[in-house]
């Protein structure tokens, strides 16, 4: 079957690239946030709930105020509040951070659905994009290379986070709390406080990731908005070996896999559409199996994590 457009198979490649940048944005923010949280020695499994909560609050605030960026900020604040709740509760003695995360996952989605009911109908202003395809005369290329502003922010944030972990006092303290809690205590830092602040910062980023879903792509608020991106982003942190730059590339890879189905459809290959839709999940499984080993410990894993102990 010949491709139906004038760009031929190049159309598929460009559509996958453009789709990758679009779809990867929430993965990128959630995984950067979770990387920061896990570097401090905690796992926040509740980020899916934070993501949905961020999407809802961003949409509501953008609709009510008319400013999408104010929506992004409020989404971040809502995420930080969830992070504070997670961090605070997990600091209590005999509380497991994984269990708290699951509880907050359910709480976040439930609360967002409840509070978000009135905002399913109205239309909120959307976030702007950067036209990377302006040089081209082809409308397909221009459409595919419209990169959203939040993706650009995320792409800058990844190296910034890596730098911060190595070049700031806070970076060193966070890594110490995540790798050797006794050492952090001996230095006089409160391990609970360091972890709670890291979880708040991680929640902020996940909330911002959620605002992307409602304010850019798909760009509306409804209850089926997130299909587990918040959970997959946590798995993604493991493949990325807790490295922010790797988070960026792995997010792109996931985004590309998700964009594969629609891209093929755009050139007329509609059969097996649902099969391609499963690509990111299959990719998750393949990467999980390929990167696991019964013999080796996970390289790069913060040793205080409950999952690596």
Footprint of another protein (CB under 8 A): 166-170, 172-173, 175-176, 179-180, 182-183, 186-188, 293-297, 299-300, 302-303
Q: Does residue 304 sit in helix, strand or coil?
A: coil
**233: its two tokens:** 């982003």
Q: How far is the CB of 140 from another protein (least distance, A)?
A: 45
CB-count burial class (<10 Å; 0-12, 13-18, 19+) for 292: exposed
Minimum CB distance to another protein smaller for 73 or for 201: 201
Of 175, 168, 204, 189, nearest to 81 (Cα)?
A: 204
129 membership: H or E segment, kind and range: strand 129-131
Q: How far is the CB of 293 from another protein (least distance, A)?
A: 8
Minimum CB distance to another protein smaller for 243 or for 265: 243
Q: How far is the CB of 75 from another protein (least distance, A)?
A: 27
Q: Whose structure tokens read 């608020």?
A: 221
Q: How far is the CB of 169 from another protein (least distance, A)?
A: 5
Residues 30 and 36: their CA atoms lie apart, in Å, by 10
146 forms bridges with which residues in the sheet?
Answer: 131
Alpha helices in 40-96 (DSSP H): 47-65, 68-91
- Phi, psi dihedral angles at 130 (to 5 degrees): -110, 130
Minimum CB distance to another protein smaller for 26 or for 302: 302
Residues 6+ apart with CB under 8 A from 290: none
Minimum CB distance to another protein smaller for 2 or for 294: 294
Minimum CB distance to another protein smaller for 28 or for 194: 194
Minimum CB distance to another protein smaller for 28 or for 238: 238
Q: What is the DSSP letter of 3?
A: -
Cβ atoms 251, 24 nearer than 8 A: yes
How distant, in Å, are the alpha carbons of 112, 116, 277 from that of 57? 8, 8, 28
Q: How far is the CB of 38 from another protein (least distance, A)?
A: 13
Q: How far is the CB of 178 from another protein (least distance, A)?
A: 9
**293: its two tokens:** 């080993």
Q: How far is the CB of 272 from another protein (least distance, A)?
A: 38
Minimum CB distance to another protein smaller for 171 or for 277: 171
């Amino acid at each position: 079957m010949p491709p139906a457009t004038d760009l031929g198979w190049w159309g598929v490649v460009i559509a996958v690239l453009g789709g990758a940048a679009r779809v990867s944005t929430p993965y990128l923010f959630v995984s950067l946030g979770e990387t920061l949280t896990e570097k401090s020695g905690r796992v926040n499994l509740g980020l899916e709930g934070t993501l949905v909560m961020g999407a809802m609050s961003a949409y509501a605030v953008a609709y009510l105020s008319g400013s999408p960026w104010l929506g992004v900020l409020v989404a971040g604040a809502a995420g930080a509040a969830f992070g504070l709740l997670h961090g605070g509760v997990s600091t209590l003695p005999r509380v497991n951070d994984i269990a708290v995360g699951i509880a907050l996952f359910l709480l976040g989605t439930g609360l967002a659905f409840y509070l978000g009911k009135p905002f399913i109908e109205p239309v909120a202003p959307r976030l702007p994009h950067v036209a990377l395809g302006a040089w081209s005369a082809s409308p397909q290329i221009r459409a595919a290379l419209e990169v959203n502003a939040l993706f650009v922010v995320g792409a800058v944030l990844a190296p910034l986070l890596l730098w911060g972990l190595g070049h700031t006092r806070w970076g060193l303290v966070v890594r110490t709390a995540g790798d050797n809690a006794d050492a952090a205590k001996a230095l006089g830092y409160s391990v609970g406080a360091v972890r709670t602040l890291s979880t708040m910062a991680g929640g902020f980023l996940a909330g911002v990731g959620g605002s992307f879903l409602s304010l850019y792509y798909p760009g509306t608020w409804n209850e089926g908005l997130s299909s587990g991106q918040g959970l997959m982003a946590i798995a993604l942190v493991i493949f990325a070996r807790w490295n922010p730059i790797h988070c960026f590339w792995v997010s792109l890879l996931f985004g590309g896999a998700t964009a594969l189905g629609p891209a093929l459809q755009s050139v007329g290959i509609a059969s097996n559409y649902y099969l391609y839709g499963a690509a990111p999940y299959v990719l998750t499984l393949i990467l999980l199996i390929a990167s696991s080993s019964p013999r080796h410990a996970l390289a790069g894993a913060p040793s205080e994590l409950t999952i690596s102990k």
